[in-house]
Structure formats: C-alpha cells, structure tokens
Amino acid sequence: MPCFRRWASRPRCEGDGWLPSFLVSDASVTPVSFIFTFDHRNFYDPDALENGAAEEANRVLKRILIVEDNELHFRLLNDLLEVHSYKILKTEYGREAVKLARNNSPDLILMDIKLPDLSGLDVTRLLKQDDQTKRIPIIAVTAFAMPGDERKALESGCDGYISKPVMIHSFLHTVRRFLSP
C-alpha cells in the first residue's frame, strides 16, 4: 500500500499514462512490466468510485487468491486489491495454488501463466476438473500478450483474461464483474 500511495502521488503522474522508472529494470518477461493509466478519478479512494460505499460493503468479505511468482507484480496487484477491501491469499507455486484453492475456496483466482513449477494453464485445468474448485472463477493475468494466448487461456478453463501491462481501471472492472453476486 505505501508503494502505491507513493507512486500515485508522484508529480510525473500526468497525462494518459506513465511508468515508474524502477519497474523497467524488472525484465524477466517483458521490459515494461506494468503501465499505469489514469483517468481523472482517484482509484485509491474507494469513495471516489461511482458506486461508493454500497459497492464497497458488498466486497468486504470477498477473497482473491493471487498466483504470481514475480514479487513486484504480486505487490502491485495485492496493494491495489487490498486498498479496495479484498482479502488476499498468495502463492507463487502452481501446486500450492491447487491446495490453497481447495482449502480456502477463494471467490476469485488471478492466475499468472509462467510459474516455477506448473504452468498457470495446467493449474487451471486441475482446478476446473475438481468438483471442489471448478466453480471458482479464474482470470489469467499474463505478460504473454501474443495472438492466441487469450484463446489458450480460455481453452484451459480460465473464465477471463487480462494481459500485462495491467490497466488499473479495466482490471478493477474485470475483478468486480467476476465477483458480483
């Protein structure tokens, strides 16, 4: 959370989009890990969103499992979701993701594709074959923004697909869409 507030208040945050310079060094998959785009609302104040407190109250108990092996990407998603009152579970391993999903029944899973053990697509297949976990919506969040990746993710059983760089507004919109009652 502190990171986000610091980034959000930086004076460079003008215009349509900007990139925190330290993210550029994180080049394990792509030289540009995330680009933030801002419209003129403040995404860090829940009351500034259109539906305000009522929507916030609906979300209080929603739990999201983030499966992500890149610490920086994890923190970014984590901080953004925590500030919007979601409860976060985390793992960087595919096999552990299967266990966490079975034991905790999260309301939503955000699934990175490239993980140290299993691929996120394989993890998704395992979860969708299991009666205990098959109803949990899974959104693939991946830097592989190549043609056909969305199709592959959906064929593996993912319910949605978000490609990095993650756009904050559409990301939150997609998360809410899968969590609405």
Q: Is 69 one of the binding residues for Mn ion (CB under 5 A)?
A: yes
At its nearest, how many Å lie between Mn ion and the CB of residue 116?
A: 8
Stretch that binds Mn ion, among 13-21, 34-42, 94-102, 108-116 (CB under 5 A): 108-116
For 70-156, where are the E strands, in sequence order?
87-91, 108-111, 138-142
Query: What's the rounded Cα separation, in Å, for the pair 94 and 117?
Result: 6
State which of residues 74, 112, 139, 141 lies at the interface with Mn ion (CB under 5 A).
112
Query: What does DSSP say about strands 63-67 and 87-91: parallel, antiparallel, or unpaired?
Result: parallel
Answer for the pair 165, 35: CB distance below 8 angstroms, yes or no. yes
DSSP annotation of 167: P
Stretch that binds Mn ion, among 17-25, 82-90, 109-117, 165-173 (CB under 5 A): 109-117
Answer for the pair 105, 136: CB distance below 8 angstroms, yes or no. yes
Q: Is 123 one of the binding residues for Mn ion (CB under 5 A)?
A: no
What's the CA angle centered on 99, arms 136 and 92, to 5 degrees?
A: 90
At its nearest, how many Å lie between Mn ion and the CB of residue 9?
A: 29
State which of residues 63, 90, 114, 169 lies at the interface with Mn ion (CB under 5 A).
114
Query: What's the rounded Cα separation, in Å, for the pair 56 and 78?
Result: 17
At its nearest, how many Å lie between Mn ion and the CB of residue 94?
A: 10
Q: Is 90 one of the binding residues for Mn ion (CB under 5 A)?
A: no
Which tokens in the block code for residue 115? 């993980």
Binding mask 131-150 for Mn ion (x = CB under 5 A): --------------------
Stretch that binds Mn ion, among 65-73, 101-109, 130-138, 171-179 (CB under 5 A): 65-73
Residue numbers at the binding site for Mn ion (CB under 5 A): 69, 112, 114
